[in-house]
A and B are shown apart, each in its own frame.
Chain A
Amino acid sequence: MADVELRAITKRYGAVAACADVNLHVADGEFVTLLGPSGCGKTTTLNIIAGLDEPTSGEVLMGGRVVNDLTPYERDVAMVFQNYALYPHMSVADNIGFTLRLRKRPRDEIRRRVQTVAEMLELAHVLDRLPRELSGGQQQRVALGRAVIREPAVFLFDEPFSNLDAALRVKMRVEVKELHQRLGITSLFVTHDQEEALSLSDRIAIMRDGHVEQVGTPDDVYAQPRTRYVARFIGSPQMDIFSGRLERRDGVAAYVVGSAAFEIPAGAAPAYDGDLDLGVRAEHVRLNAGGIPMPVRVVQPLGSMTYVTVGWDEELLTSRLLGMAHLPPGEAVTVSLDPAGLLFFDRASGRRVLPDGTLA
């Protein structure tokens, strides 16, 4: 058991900085995700925590102790790799027990602990098989087992599900979350899948170009994104963001995008006239509750909900309706925005502008 702290971690490869001044504190037992697109430095950060890479500068602390000079083994971290990295010549049992074998544990203790882990991960019936004889989900669970048997201080996951198909990915997500709830081991999880991050994490660190853009609970980063980048990255479908202007007409605020002017109630927008980006999620776009008439462009029924995309000029706006909605394309609907879900961003910096006019 240990907390993990990153202090001003920077990693340079020549002139390129893979990580630039990353600061992060992961509390004991917490599950934190590093989220971002490929090349944002999240895997480098994880490798530095693991001790597989050395930072150019900065400190890694575990349990309050600087561990920069310790090997992965001495840091007592266990890691699950993206491509599993199972030892191909060893049986499942030997793969899981390898770390105990290196520690020269007695043979029957190894067998006992492997058995316990295998039962927990539903691998007991394949213990004698080689990795290549397993399904993708089983291989993934062997990789988990190899990490779990250690009872490590910290779990590190490097995009562990990205090679699985969609259905299996959701299933493994449940297993990992259950595992974390049961064992309560401090976990760092790297992914580019925002849904994975939202569903698993206590907190999410969204990374961009080597730095941490925002750290927060799933609720925070979803509802209160600090920047346009975070707002776009989190949530599905992607948030619609417009490059329009806030105007005041007869004392009433309106957001103008091309030929459309959305009425903004008092208090929902900063007291500001001029260019400002507006982001709004699909669940905050209301159809046929008054507002501006627009034609339906595309309808995507998804069973439990339906995405309806309307358009005007060159702009598109997607609304989410619950259940299966049947709207013919081209039909006119009225569109209004839920004032509770309006997020304004400074165009130049991309930072969020709060209703009181300050930057987030």
Chain B
Amino acid sequence: MSRRWRARLRRTGILMGLVLFVVWTLAPIVWALISSFLPLRALTATPPDLAPGNFTLDNYLGVLSADRDLIGGLRNSAIVASFTAALALLIGSSAAYALARLRVPGSSKILMLILVTQMFPAMVIIIPLFIVLSRTGLTDSQVGLMIVYLSFVLPIVIWVLKGFFEAVPRELERAAAVDGASTMQTFRLVVLPISLPPLFATGVFAFIEAWNEFFFAVILTQSNAKTAPVVVAEFSGQYVSLYGQMVAAAVIASIPVIVLAIVFRRYILEGFVEGAVKG
């Protein structure tokens, strides 16, 4: 076989792999979208009845008018996820910079410890966590959820940002020192501005984690602080399961995350550090 043919075959193989991956990723989402527009009768038929006449907005209208508070859930999710992301960036970037650049005694041990906190399964920590939160009166509260989510996202934010800060050319910080900047000023005026892409990326990551989280939310909230995923799950009840409405609610709850990803994609990918130093 000639070299050109082999290259062509290779490319076709890669392409087919990518197509499979895309189908595999998108199929559930497409199915969710389709079923959100179908009445229960058409959805539960075997095979599902996809006749064009069956498509309807009833599920969406039903969701919004239902006594289940999806809007309230979305609001709770938005508040918890936004604050989680903002605090994760504030605390995470400072911690990461300190660990990357300042002489912190035992910094490698601290880093390992941060990582170790990630290694316990949720099932292991949920009960002690519940007890702690209820003793401090933080169950069913937005603050309680934020604290819990922060404890999950912070380690990852710290590790990712630390790796990035270490890659910031040291000369930039030396130049700032010679120009008369304090460590804080160097961090704020030089390091942070050139670190926008990873800050966006980790911020979006923290937001999505908090937005999508279900397990802790369903256990730690009852009514006031219920987040969107919890509300969505409640459409599947003990006596009736409103699949169509449930999927419609899920689609609505997914929109902010998708918008976020699309909006920030450009910033996340942009090579901001380019042109900082030559060599």
Contact = CB atoms under 8 A, between A and B. Distances in A.
B274 interface: yes
A132 interface: yes
B179 A99 contact: yes
Interface residues of A, number: 29
A132 B177 CA distance: 22
Among the interface residues A50, A89, A146, which one has the most CB atoms of the partner chain B within 10 A?
A89
Interface in B97-112: none
Contact of B279 (A83, A87, A98): A83
Contacts of A102: 179-181, 185
A13 B276 CA distance: 29
Contacts of A71: 177
B116 interface: no
Interface string A97-129: 011001100000000000000000000000000
Contacts of A77: 178
Among the interface residues A88, A103, A163, which one has the most CB atoms of the partner chain B within 10 A?
A88
A89 B180 CA distance: 18
B272 A89 contact: yes
A98 B179 contact: yes
A73 B177 contact: yes
B171 interface: yes
How many B residues are at the interface, by size bracket? 20 to 34
A85 B174 contact: yes
Contacts of B274: 88, 132
Given A85-B169, A89-B193, A79 B275 contact: no
B277 A83 contact: yes
A52 B179 CA distance: 12
A72 B169 CA distance: 18
B172 interface: yes
Contact of B177 (A72, A87, A131): A72
Contact of B179 (A83, A133, A146): A146
Contacts of A98: 176, 179, 181, 189
Given A83-B169, A130-B275, A78 B180 contact: no
Given A131-B276, A139-B278, A85 B179 contact: no
Given A86-B276, A88-B274, A163-B279, A81 B174 contact: yes
Q: Which 8 pairs across A and B sit closest by C-beta, in order of nearness?
A: A132-B275, A85-B171, A83-B277, A73-B180, A88-B276, A99-B179, A85-B175, A83-B279
5 contacts: A73-B180, A88-B274, A98-B179, A98-B189, A146-B175
Interface of A: 50, 52, 71-73, 77-79, 81-89, 98-99, 102-103, 130-133, 136, 139, 146, 163
